[in-house]
Structure 1
Amino acid sequence: MTPRVHLREITDDNVAEVRRVRVRRRQRMFVDSVSESLAEAAATPQAAPWYRAVYADDVPVGFVMLSWNARPAPGVLGPYYLWRLLVDRRHQRRGYGGAALRLVVDLVRADGAAELLTSYQPGVGEPLPFYERFGFAPTGEVDDGEVVLRLDLRR
């Protein structure tokens, strides 16, 4: 039986266990940790950070963070920008990342967004193939060394 994947608010009750979500060592060049992400969210309120833990049943298996309907400005992509998507090293290759991304896309589309942006750091093992499977395509832009991708939500 496949565990039910859902997004859960991060609270005082679960923040410690969510901070223990870790990617593989070779993936650290591509994505910041949960702790680093939460600190960045707190330091960048103008980016309208929205974040959730990814749970499979009652086990935290990942983390997502977006700019939610933010006004684009220097250092802020948007209005909807997927900053982080990570799945714990012990739970990878089980479909949790894809399930989490589908949930995020559904939520952003339901909010009336026409597109969802994300970006990635190029390199061996980069996440581009993962995002391409969902329909993301390069915009031709590079932001702080990262290739910007766009998903058209009107389709």
Structure 2
Amino acid sequence: MSDTLSLAALTPDNIDAALALRVRPDQEGLVAPVAKSLAEAYVHGETAWPRLILDGGRPVGFVMAFFDVTFHPERPEDRPRSGLWRLLIDAERQGGGYGRFAVEQVCAEIRRRGGTRATVTYEPGPAGPAGFYARLGFRPTGELSGGQAVAELDL
């Protein structure tokens, strides 16, 4: 991992590189491909924040955050949530700290927008990323969202 890690918005110049990112075959059921993420970002508009993870300008992964820091007084049980929607590190680049960097950047953006908590959903089970998120300080809430486990981190 180099000192030049950054996140970049998706553009016509980097869309093909983003679409070429792939996880290992045994991880394909754990995270949606970039194409699905970009389709979801398109339909969710302002809520979605898709970014390429770059190392020295070279794409190594994809992260998508969601932002909802609006409190709904009519639904106090429906706490506002912002967090990590999707994280995909290319199969050839896993284990290099890119996922940690991306999560830290998402958390920084949540704080910048006034949020105090980051949420993540992930596939539960022994092959899932629960351990990765726990090492970053996320605590399981015991909730499920769309069949995925929910964890939170106070910022």
Within 2, Cα distance between the matches of 1:38 and 1:72? Answer: 26
Secondary structure, in 3 states, of the residue corresponding to 2:144? strand
Contact 1:67 1:78 in 2 (8 A): no
**What value does the CA root-mean-square deviation take over the aligned residues?**
2.1
Give runs of aligned pairs for residues 24-39 of structure 1, distance below 5 A: 24-39=24-39
AA matched with 2:142: G
Decide whether aligned partners of structure 1 residues 121 and 77 sit closer, same or farther in structure 2, where only a CA change above 3 A counts.
farther
Within 2, Cα distance between the matches of 1:49 and 1:23? Answer: 21
AA matched with 1:29: G
TM-score by length of 2: 0.88
Contact 1:78 1:117 in 2 (8 A): no
Within 1, Cα distance between the matches of 2:29 and 2:3? Answer: 29
Within 2, Cα distance between the matches of 1:78 and 1:22? Answer: 31
Aligned length in residues? 150
Within 2, Cα distance between the matches of 1:124 and 1:143? Answer: 18
Aligned to 2:136: 134
Contact 2:83 2:110 in 1 (8 A): no
Give runs of aligned pairs for residues 41-52 of structure 1, distance below 5 A: 41-45=41-45, 48-52=47-51
TM-score by length of 1: 0.88
Aligned to 1:115: 117
Contact 1:5 1:56 in 2 (8 A): yes
> What's the offset of the Cα at 1:112?
1.6
Within 2, Cα distance between the matches of 1:64 and 1:44? Answer: 15
Aligned to 1:151: 153
Name stretches of at least 5 consecutive residues in structure 2 with no aligned partner.
73-77
Secondary structure, in 3 states, of the residue corresponding to 1:141? strand
Aligned to 2:65: 66
Within 2, Cα distance between the matches of 1:85 and 1:77? Answer: 23
Aligned to 2:88: 86
Contact 1:23 1:89 in 2 (8 A): yes
Aligned to 1:8: 8
Contact 2:117 2:154 in 1 (8 A): yes
